[in-house]
Amino acid sequence: MTEHTTAPEHTTAAEQSADPYDNRRQVLYWRLLARLFDHEEQATLESASLAVVQDLDLPSALLDPQTSVDSIVQRHPELATEFDGLMAPEPDTDGNRDRAAEVRRAALVSKVLLNVYANGSGTVTAGQLARWQSDAGWLERALGCRPGELRGTRTGGPGAGPTGTGGPGSTPDLSRLIPAIGPELGAIEADLVKRMHLREVLADPQLAARLNPSMSLIEQLLRDKNNLSGVALANAKALIRRFVDEVAQVLRTQVEKATVGDLDRSVPPKRVFRNLDLDRTIWKNLTNWSPEEERLYVDRLYYRHTSRKTTPQRLIVVVDQSGSMVDSMVNCTILASIFAGLPKVEVHLIAYDTQALDLTPWVHDPFETLLRTHLGGGTDGTVAMALAQPKIAEPRNTVVVWISDFFEWRNEELFESMAAIHRSGAKFIPVGSVTSSGRGSVNPWFRERFKDLGAPVLSGHIRKLVHELKNFLT
């Protein structure tokens, strides 16, 4: 009799201890996993998830895979603030948990993740790509970032607008996101672009107008530009120019904010009121203070130095245009054009794969420069070096920026010529990546030798290169 009564009592206790909030949250996440990995609709999970969503007083459209986050926010604008920072780390609440809020959060998180990661197969339309880019922007905002930030595109972008700002808190340390999803988002976007019938889309002005420029799309356009003509080519050029203008605006702001060269103290300061160093003037004249009169007598004024060293400089930018360096190619052509606009700076631009191309005549127009590139192929930096070396007329007034992942055919030969430039007195800056996200791989063989040479590879965010160049050139 004891054996027959113990089991039911144990089962009843377990049922009593079950947390209804945990159960609801698990239903939503089981549905998420099933949708991502099984691709077959499971009626039980769907009906249970619908009951949970309705109980939370959330729109049932959250469970519709064809409905974008933008559409939901347009119909229910109060949800915009919930999506912003949705997946960002939360402050410690001393163990106090809002169980109902956790279930609500699970419903919104599931929506964002499914829209971004469940992409099916087959042909992709321009509208589908635009919707995915918008949803990816909402995922980035949910993580506390600006739309486009993780994908290494631009600030603003899909999903940006008056309904949200990318999270209520401070921007997270992107290098500590686990997993580092930026490259994964970029890979998904690139796959969607490849699955488009891009030429047919470009030939239709209405469909082409729905495309949002992205690095993946620009790469495809640059690869296929020679096969386009007429309306399709005109639409492709318009998309490239839009993207170039957006990136240029961001980079131009970074150049303006970067620090400039050292003060030239050999030039006497101009004795004008705006240069008056009031603090130093008071400090130096304190011995002239009259306690009786409570007055400071000033017998000498001090002024700030404002002149900076502005010797004429030559900037030679060499860019690897092989398939793995598309992001760098786009960023560097734009950056070269910005520095070419500075006074007394002469900029040369060389692109290479197994052949080298001198793009200097078009350096002031990054759009025209990109149209003349030929992406893809292998990598042979020695052909670029043959064009770059004769341009170094005055080594001490020259900076050579070499952007590549340095996976070369002739390592020893190329490195020796680079070391010779460094020893000549020219400033040699090897750059492993100049992407907006700062991610990129570099051949470890070259990395170690550049470090021993005293010219370590500059890698990371493009802001680092902007700072290095402006400090040397202005």
At 295, is the secondary structure helix, strand, or coil? strand
Please give the single-letter amino acid code of residue 298.
V
- Domains, the chain, ordered by start: 19-88+98-169+176-196 (no CATH), 263-307 (no CATH), 313-473 (3.40.50.410)
Mean pLDDT, range 248-271, rounded to an integer: 62
CA-to-CA distance for 6 and 409, rounded, in angstroms?
Answer: 75
CA-to-CA distance for 105 and 221, rounded, in angstroms?
Answer: 39
Please give the single-letter amino acid code of residue 474.
T
Per-residue pLDDT, 167:
43
1 pLDDT tier (thresholds 50, 70, 90): very low
pLDDT at 7 over 70: no
Please give the single-letter amino acid code of residue 294.
E
CA-to-CA distance for 371 and 471, rounded, in angstroms?
Answer: 30
**Is the overall model pTM greater than 0.85, yes or no?**
no
Please give the single-letter amino acid code of residue 387.
L
4 pLDDT tier (thresholds 50, 70, 90): very low
Percent of the chain with pLDDT over 90: 12
Tokens of 390: 């004769």
CB 362 within 8 A of CB 369: yes
Give CB contacts under 8 A, 24+ apart, made by 418-424.
Answer: 418/385, 419/453, 421/389, 421/392, 421/395, 422/453, 422/454, 422/455, 424/392, 424/395
CA-to-CA distance for 359 and 333, rounded, in angstroms?
Answer: 9
Per-residue pLDDT, 173:
53
Q: Report which of residues 178 and 288 the model is more confident about.
A: 288
**77, 195, 216, 323 from 191: Cα distances, Å:** 31, 6, 9, 15
Mean pLDDT, range 419-437, rounded to an integer: 82
**115, 147, 209, 210 from 128: Cα distances, Å:** 11, 18, 13, 10
pLDDT at 462 over 80: no
Say which range, 152-166, 217-231, 282-296, has the weakest mean pLDDT: 152-166
Per-residue pLDDT, 166:
42
CA-to-CA distance for 339 and 334, rounded, in angstroms?
Answer: 9
Give CB contacts under 8 A, 24+ apart, made by 447-453.
Answer: 447/406, 449/415, 453/419, 453/422
Containing 401, the helix (H) or strand (E) segment is strand 398-403
**206, 264, 268 from 271: Cα distances, Å:** 61, 16, 9
Please give the single-letter amino acid code of residue 351.
A
Per-residue pLDDT, 231:
92
**What percentage of the chain's residues is helix, strand, coil (to nearest 5)?**
55, 10, 35
Q: How confident is the model over 361-413, as pLDDT tens digits?
A: 998 888 888 888 876 667 889 999 999 999 998 898 898 989 888 888 888 99
Taken as a whole, the chain contains a residue count of 474
Would you say the C-alpha torsion 292, 293, 299, 302 has a positive or negative sign? Answer: positive
CB 356 within 8 A of CB 317: no
296 pLDDT tier (thresholds 50, 70, 90): confident
Q: Report which of residues 345 and 435 the model is more confident about.
A: 345
Q: How confident is the model over 47-87, as pLDDT tens digits?
A: 888 888 888 888 888 888 888 898 888 888 888 888 888 88
**Residue whose token pair is 């991502």:** 36
Q: Is the peptide bond before 179 cis (omega within 30 degrees of 0)?
A: yes
